[in-house]
Every structure is written in C-alpha cells, then in structure tokens.
Chain A
Amino acid sequence: MSGLDVRLKDAAFRFEDMRMHFDVLFPAGSLSAVMGPSGAGKSTLLNLIAGFEQPQSGKVLIGGEDMTTLAPARRPVSMIFQDNNLFAHLDVLTNTGLGLSPTGRLDGAQREQVRAALARTGLAGLERRKPAELSGGQRQRVAIARALLRDRPVMLLDEPFAALGPALRAEMLDLVAEIHASRGFTVIMVTHQPDDARAIAQRAVFIHDGQVRAAAPVSEFFAQAGTVPQLAAYLGQ
C-alpha cells in the first residue's frame, strides 16, 4: 500500500489560551520533518491528523477524503509516541500483535506475521520480553513493528527518538527511511534536530506559535531562515 496525501485545511484549534491555525499539505508518499520550539503546536498538529483532537473549524483531509470527525481507529493512520507506546505488563509479542487484533488474541498465522514484523525491525528472539526488559531503542522498534503490521498509509512519529543517544538515533532514522522506501507510507516526523531532517526527510515544515511558517523541500528549507526570522532564531542562526 502506498501513501496518501495529508491536508489540513484552515484547521483551527484552541487549547486554553493557545490559538492554533494550520493550513498545510503533506504530499502522498513523502517523508516530512516537522520542527519548531516547544509548545508551538507540533504535537497538536499530529493529534489533529490522528484524530485524538478535532479542530473547532476547518478540515482534515487524508487522501482527499474528509476525516475531520472520524474516530482515530477509522483513520488510515498509525502514530508512534515519544513514550508509553507499549503496555508495560504485556510482552513484546502481545504488544505488537495488538496491531493485528485489538483484543490481543492471535491465531497461529497472525503469530507468524508478528514474528516476521519483529524480525524485520531487528527484534527476533525478544518476543517474550516485557517492555521494562528492553532498551529505549528496542521499545520504539516494537512500536514501529506494530505500525508495520497495521499497514496504514500514514505514519506519524512524535519525537520518537528524542531520548536516544546519537548512534542509536541514527540507526532508528535509517529504519524509518527504509520502511518509508519499501512501503511508500506518508511519514510525518516531529523532531527537534535539524540533522534528522537533513539525514532522511524530503520535506521540512516549521511551526511557530500555532502556525506553519515555512514548508518546503529540505534542499530549500534551510535557506528560508533568511526570510523567516523565527526560523533563524529557532536554528540559532
């Protein structure tokens, strides 16, 4: 399955006294990095796409279809959080298997599928481990394996590697790039590291104070710091 384009059309969202307004397009099959200061609204943007939040006005379109009020489970979206992607008391196999069967019960064929997905993300042999017995990187690999099994065309990553060291982080980025290349998902990744964008992203989006201030192919994006002062300030230029 290949990706779908994701569009926020005049989507306004208000949380306490923070007003946000998004109008942005993520083309089908692209890998985009979303950057911006803390509290700018990056996570809200992902929550709107995933359906955990609904805009007060405007629309969320995925693959051209209006999904503004659709429940999260019915959207063609998988989201990976920074933390708590796994249920702490369930083992790796069950946590991953929830992507195939939301009750957690798996038949033999499904088990094989889960094992294959785990092998694909470098977790073969760890099926019986509990999340507490995994490293931070391994835990995120489980979440990625589950997203692979769900096979939804849009994959959202909310700073999933923020807590990892440089080497591990690079490995995880490679894994995301690989999955993007093989599956053709539309990938939207929130990150604080311009290097992440340079390493794997095709496009970059800059959010400041609840609005998209810059959105462009990575090759042009960093040059926009000259015309967007907030981006220059964010990048420390």
Chain B
Amino acid sequence: MPTLRHTAASASASATWAALAFIAGAVLAAATGLIFLAPGGSAWSGTFTDPYVWRVARFTLWQAALSALLSILFAMPVAHALARRARFTGRTWLIRLLSLPLALPQLVAVMGILSLWGRHGWLARAAHFTGLPGLPGIYGLTGILLAHVFFNMPLAARILTAALERIPGEYWRLAAQLAMPRAAIWRHIAWPAMARVIPGAALLIFMLCATSFTVVLILGGGPAATTLEVAIYQALRFDFDPPRAMALSLLQVLVTTAVFFILRRFTRAPDVTASLEAPHAHPAGNDPAARLADTFWIGLAAIFTAAPLAAIAAAGLTPDLVPLLASPALHGALLASLILAAAAAALTLILSWALLQSLRLRDPSFAAMGDLAASLILVIPPVVLGAGWFIILHRAGQEATLAPVLVATINALMSLPFAWRILRPPFEEAQARYGRLCAALDITGLARLRLVDWPMLRRPLGLAAALSLALSIGDLGAIALFGSESFRTLPWLLYQKLGSYRTDEAAGLALILLVFILALMALAEALGGQSRRNTP
C-alpha cells in the first residue's frame, strides 16, 4: 500500500517544514528589521568606517582568542592529571564540579567572580586584612578573561581528558615496560592525543567567547573593553542608533559564520583506536614528583571552579535575604521567569521534535537542513536576532505586547542546538530499530508516538526540557533588550540591582538562581543517567 506510507512520510515532511518556516521566519524578520528599517533615513554606510565599530570588532576577536588560549593552557595539565589518576576519592565529584560552569547562567557565575575577586570581594578583604597589596581591578579585560576561563577551562579539561582516555591501555603499559621518562611519555603519548582535539576545542571556546554577552556586559570596562554583542545592545538601548546596531550585527554574524563552518570541519568523528584492554591506572605516573604535580593541578582546578560558587553562597546568605524573599518584586520576577522558561522549554521540544521528523525521510539534504536550522542560533546570536526584532517592535510601537513572546522564542532557539544534540542519537536509534517494523505494520502518528517513540525517548526529552528550562531561567541576553519596569525576569531584576549598587540583594538573587539551576541540573543528571543505563 504505497499511499499509506506516503501519508506518513508527508506528515513527517510537513512537521519539519513548519518548524523550518518558523525558524526562518524569525530570522528573516530580524534581518528585515536590521537591514530595511534600521537606516531610518541616515546613511549607514558611514558606520562601517566608524573606528569605534572596528575597535569593538578587534577587541571581540582578541579577548576570544586569549580566552581560548588561557583555557586550553590551564586545562592541559589538569586533564593530564585527571587521566593519569583514574581512581581517587572524590574523582566523580570533581568531574561533576567541572561540568557545572557550562550549565551555570553567566550572570550567576559573574556574580560569583565579583564576590570573590571584586573590589569588595573575599580576596580583596583577605588582602586588606593581611596587609598585602590589593588585586588589580576586576573590570575590563582581566575580569572578562577570568570569567571566560572559569567557564571554558572545565570544558577544555573534559574534552582533553576524554582524548587521553581514548589512548589504548597498551600504550601506558609499553611506556612502563620501556621505562620511558616523563618527557618522552608526554611527547609520544599524551601530547599527540591532546594535539588532535586542541584545534576543535580552541575554536569552540573561541566561538563561545566571541558571542558571550553577560560576562562582557557586567565585567567589561566601558568602550575600551566591549564586544560586538554588548555594543549592539548599547547601540539600541542607550543610544538608539539602529544603523550602528546593524553594522555591528553584520560583523558579528560574519565572525560567527566563519568560525561555525571552520568548527564543523574540525568536529569529524574522533579517531578511536580500538583497544581490547579495559582502561587501567597508568603505571607510568607513580613517582612522587608526578603525584605531587597531579595533586597540585587537580586541587587548583577544584578551587578555581568551586570558590566563586562558594562566594555566591557566602555573599547571598545575609540577613537581607529574608526581606528579599518576601518582596513582591521578587515574586513577580520569579513568576515571569518560570512562565517564560516553561514556554521556551515547550517550544524547544516542539521545534526539535518537528525537526527530528526530517530524519524519517531518509533524505540526506532534508536532514542536513534540519541540522542547520537547529544550530542557526549559533550563527545568528540571540542579541542579533533580538536587535532586528527590537527595531521592528519599536517602529510598530508594540514593545510591551510582544516582548514576552519574543524573549520566550529567542530562549527556545538558544536551547535548540543542545536539545537537538541530546535527542538526535536516541531518535535515530529508535528509527533504525523499529522504522521498518512500523512501516510494515503501519504504525504511524500518535500510535507510533505512544508505542515506540515515547518509551524510547521520554528520558532524553526530560533531559532536554530540564536543560532548556535552566538555560532560559538564567538568560540575560534576550531580556536585556526587551525588559522594562513592567516586564521583569529574575536575571533582569538582578541586573537592575547590580546597576543600582545594591550588591547584597543582587548576591541574594544570584543565590536563588543558583539553587534553581542546581535543582534542574540534579534532575537532568538523574534523567541522563537513567537514559544511559536504558540504552544498551
């Protein structure tokens, strides 16, 4: 019965087309806003010769390159130590700790860094108390790099550790048997394994830092330390200079597009040499010097990652927390945050489900389109997308009515690449296992969802939803453009408190956000752990 199969296929196709149309519509509208509505009569060609625009572009690339370099340099000895110490008490906790920064809202982490390294932070207080000279100022390049390394060193360490753990166990045994000295082990075993993944990891970090918004917004020190993303925001919300916003957006998209496509070339399937041996402790690293070095690096990484989190808890747990918890402003912002995050997470799941249907058609170009649509936000960052919409709404005088819808949509698009990466492998597995059986038995539509896809995918779907909630609840990028006195989320409220120097209240809000995020992460880990156990 070819017609039946045809109906199922066309249902899959129309779901994907609908999602593609939604995403393309959001992007094209933003582009229209930027390109056609932005000029507003004045010639915008002049903005490209504006030295300010180029200075911002240069600083964006420079800080991203430095962040990538420092993160990798710090991560290398940490990963080496972690790979060499395959068993020690607390190793699982350390790995968990290292996975925390990437899931943490930038705003919370920045608060932690401020309460630790800032002018009135714990380190400055300790320095004052002991009479040591104070720290250099945190605002500007120093603070930006510190925050970016906080986020990305653990990411790099995890990528490098994974590469080191793929080294066949026989290599370490050979090194032990041949009595290779430490330098030779590094040169012949550890370094080649790391060198293979360093370009990809560095580019990924570069990409993340080139589009980082919140860190630069709060820690950037005026025009000298501003990135394209923050400059777009300032061009719209402070100066209302749409032509400049457009020029900056165009440069930003150029940068992200270039890095995105180079990155895709680097992320081929990793070179895995099959080994028959189970991973073992490395017999090569048992001398006291190696032990000491490993302890040092692992300890340093743990303190560097944990200290800002501890600082938030310490700064947030003040007597001021009680009135803060009772304030109506918090309740309103919290409710708005929860509703927006729920809407964004729902939209993320609907969009990714619709895009996943493209995989059913066994048409590689269609699947590639779904893949690209899911990661479009990486090329067209939230602030650029928001800038286009901001200009449209401003022209139409509709900021108030549509702002929540836009924030939810932008947040949904932000979590789409992650949801896609979580859902795609189990979806493909379900398709490979049961696709032909479903076609033969004519199990389609809701019946298929209930019988096949839901049982196999409910845990990954829960994981994607939890991550999407966490991402939306902590996001400052979209709300920074659209927030107002009548439309406030938790991060926006926090940013306002920070702007009016009510640091204690800001720290309290950061602590509340942190608790939410940790709860969501625990949920995600429970779901993720379960789903891994379920898949053979």
Contact = CB atoms under 8 A, between A and B. Distances in A.
B243 to A, nearest CB: 52
A113 interface: no
A103 B184 contact: yes
Interface string B160-183: 000000001111011111111101
Given A83-B275, A98-B174, A103-B183, 11 more contacts: A51-B176, A51-B283, A71-B176, A71-B286, A72-B176, A73-B178, A82-B276, A84-B169, A98-B188, A102-B184, A103-B181
A87 interface: yes
Nearest to A15: B278
B192 interface: yes
Interface residues of A, number: 25
A77 B179 CA distance: 12
B171 to A, nearest CB: 6
Contacts of A52: 173, 176, 280, 283
10 shortest interchain CB distances as A-B pairs:
A73-B179, A84-B170, A84-B168, A102-B180, A72-B176, A103-B184, A102-B178, A72-B177, A81-B170, A89-B192
25 contacts: A51-B176, A71-B176, A71-B283, A71-B286, A72-B173, A72-B177, A72-B283, A74-B179, A79-B173, A81-B170, A82-B276, A83-B168, A83-B274, A83-B276, A84-B169, A87-B188, A87-B192, A88-B273, A99-B178, A102-B178, A102-B181, A102-B184, A103-B180, A104-B184, A104-B187
A48 interface: no
B393 interface: no
Nearest to B187: A104
A85 interface: yes
Given A103-B183, A104-B184, A104-B188, A78 B177 contact: yes
Interface in A177-208: none
Contacts of A73: 176-179
Interface in B235-291: 273-277, 280, 283, 286
Contacts of A87: 171, 174, 188-189, 192
Contacts of B184: 102-104
Interface of B: 168-171, 173-181, 183-184, 187-189, 192, 273-277, 280, 283, 286
Contacts of A88: 273
Given A102-B184, A103-B184, A85 B170 contact: yes
B177 to A, nearest CB: 5
Contacts of A99: 178
A81 B174 CA distance: 9
A164 B171 CA distance: 21
Contacts of A78: 177
A102 B276 contact: no
Contacts of B189: 87
A25 interface: no
Nearest to A86: B174
Nearest to A146: B178
A83 B170 contact: yes
Nearest to A47: B173
Contacts of A98: 174, 178, 180, 188
A168 interface: no
Nearest to B196: A89
Interface string A15-30: 0000000000000000
Interface of A: 50-52, 71-74, 77-79, 81-85, 87-90, 98-99, 102-104, 150
Given A102-B181, A103-B183, A85 B188 contact: no
A77 B275 contact: no
Given A52-B283, A103-B184, A84 B176 contact: no
Nearest to A100: B178
Contacts of A82: 276
B188 A77 contact: no
A157 to B, nearest CB: 13
Contacts of B192: 87, 89
Contacts of B171: 84, 87
Interface-centre pick from A73, A74, A90 (highest chain B CB count, 10 A): A73
Contacts of B276: 82-83
A77 B177 contact: yes
Nearest to B179: A73
Interface-centre pick from A84, A87, A98 (highest chain B CB count, 10 A): A84
Contact of B275 (A74, A79, A84, A103): A84
A120 to B, nearest CB: 19
A84 B252 CA distance: 46
Nearest to A83: B276
A99 B283 CA distance: 18
A81 B276 CA distance: 10
Contacts of A72: 173, 176-177, 283
Contacts of A77: 177
Contacts of A84: 168-171, 273, 275
A219 B275 CA distance: 35
Contacts of B286: 71
B189 to A, nearest CB: 7
A98 B178 CA distance: 7
A102 B192 CA distance: 17
A194 to B, nearest CB: 22
Contacts of B170: 81, 83-85
A102 B275 CA distance: 23
A77 B178 CA distance: 10
Nearest to B183: A103
A102 B273 contact: no
A90 B177 CA distance: 18
Given A72-B173, A73-B178, A102-B178, A90 B188 contact: yes
Given A52-B280, A52-B283, A72-B283, A79 B187 contact: no
B168 A79 contact: no
A50 B177 contact: yes
B183 to A, nearest CB: 7
A99 to B, nearest CB: 7
Contacts of B274: 83
A72 B283 CA distance: 8
Contacts of B187: 104
A72 B275 CA distance: 20
A52 B169 CA distance: 11
A74 B176 CA distance: 9
Contacts of B175: 102
